Amino acid sequence: MIDVAFPLVRPLLHGLDAERAHDLTLRALALLPSGRRREDDPRLAVDLLGRRFPNPVGLAAGFDKGARVPDALLGLGFGFAEVGGVVPRPQPGNPQPRVFRLAADRAVINRYGLNSEGLDIVAARLRARTGRPGIVGVNIGANKDSVDRLADYAACTAVLAPLADFVTVNVSSPNTPGLRDLQGEAFLDELLARTVAAREAAGASAAILLKIAPDMALDALDAVCATALRRGVQALVVSNTTVARPAGLVEQALARETGGLSGRPLFGPATRMLAQTRLRVGDSLPLVGVGGVDSAEAAWTKILAGASLVQLYSALVYEGPGLVGRIKAGLVRRMDEEGITALRQVVGRDAADLARGA
């Protein structure tokens, strides 16, 4: 029903401030009756991170920052949902307005600044859904005014790893000053060591993922990949939003707003970074492809570039929740055309070409 209603509701939502529309969407999802989700085509299943994902299409972090509606989101057909980002202490983020729709570009710019209700509230919500089906991960960060950001990540991991299927270490948000500095080799090595230690001390089985930026130089990517492998990270998420403004954006006035750009214009640079990452890690480290996924073709290209799983968020603003089912159906059609029975058979097949931007 929500799929059918979206074309009617979208003009109303887009007539509101983007953040207000987002909050109303979360409130509406919270009112949805719980029900049994439709079974996916078994060929879409992905065995990864010690879990069986019913399909490879996930919701990216940022949509449900407070873990308010993860089960409703899974009910829309996502194979997994990532909530957060979460920081230890509540923080309001940056002043409003801080989210902007670039409708002609099918893009969004945000400078939320990791607004969060804080670790305690998110943990309580995740604890309340213990035992429910569905794969839910959580994205973690550091408080803006923290004097020890590494300790913030460790604290979040210690509490949330026992409550989630995976924990994504976010060092790539462009909206927290200095956060991307943690992608430097020395900082990252210590950060991942402390995060993994915190998970082990908690006795949790959650996988540790690392989310990186699309804007880093390739020598920096070399160091990130080597550090992730050495420290036992179980997957890389490629990528976060970009601070760049690709040529050809139509909404030039809005493009001048500061913040991270997501949506269709991010697809090219994020997919090139994904493919470059695949060339460096091969089969030794699974990848999650994020950035500009707004169709089955885009999702398929991410898989060819090296992604075992994909995530989306901004496309929902323009396409609505029915997009999830369309992507899954399109992936099945491509599998039929290729004559394959599992997506892993084509993961990374075109990484060399896509790394060059082909």
Q: Which helix (H) or strand (E) holds 46?
A: strand 46-48
Q: Which phi and psi (to 5°) does residue 165 adopt?
A: -80, -30
Rounded Cα gap, residues 182 and 98, in angstroms: 24
Cα-based angle 66, 69, 72 (whole degrees, multiple of 5): 160
Whether the CB-CB separation of 45 and 53 falls below 8 Å is answered with yes
Catalytic residue among 116, 146, 172, 173: 173
Whether the CB-CB separation of 169 and 189 falls below 8 Å is answered with no
Task: Enter the tokens of residue 55.
Answer: 């399909």
Rounded Cα gap, residues 308 and 194, in angstroms: 26
CA distances from 60 to 8, 65, 112, 293 (A): 25, 10, 15, 11
Q: Which helix (H) or strand (E) holds 296?
A: helix 296-305
Known catalytic residue at 262: no
Task: Enter the tokens of residue 206.
Answer: 């959650």
CB atoms within 10 A of CB 258: 11
CA distances from 210 to 132, 182, 233, 296 (A): 25, 11, 7, 25
Rounded Cα gap, residues 260 and 245, in angstroms: 9
Rounded Cα gap, residues 64 and 68, in angstroms: 6
Three-state DSSP at 118 gives: coil
Return the DSSP state at 308.
Answer: S
Q: 């001390």: which residue's tokens?
A: 201
Residues annotated catalytic, as ranges = 173
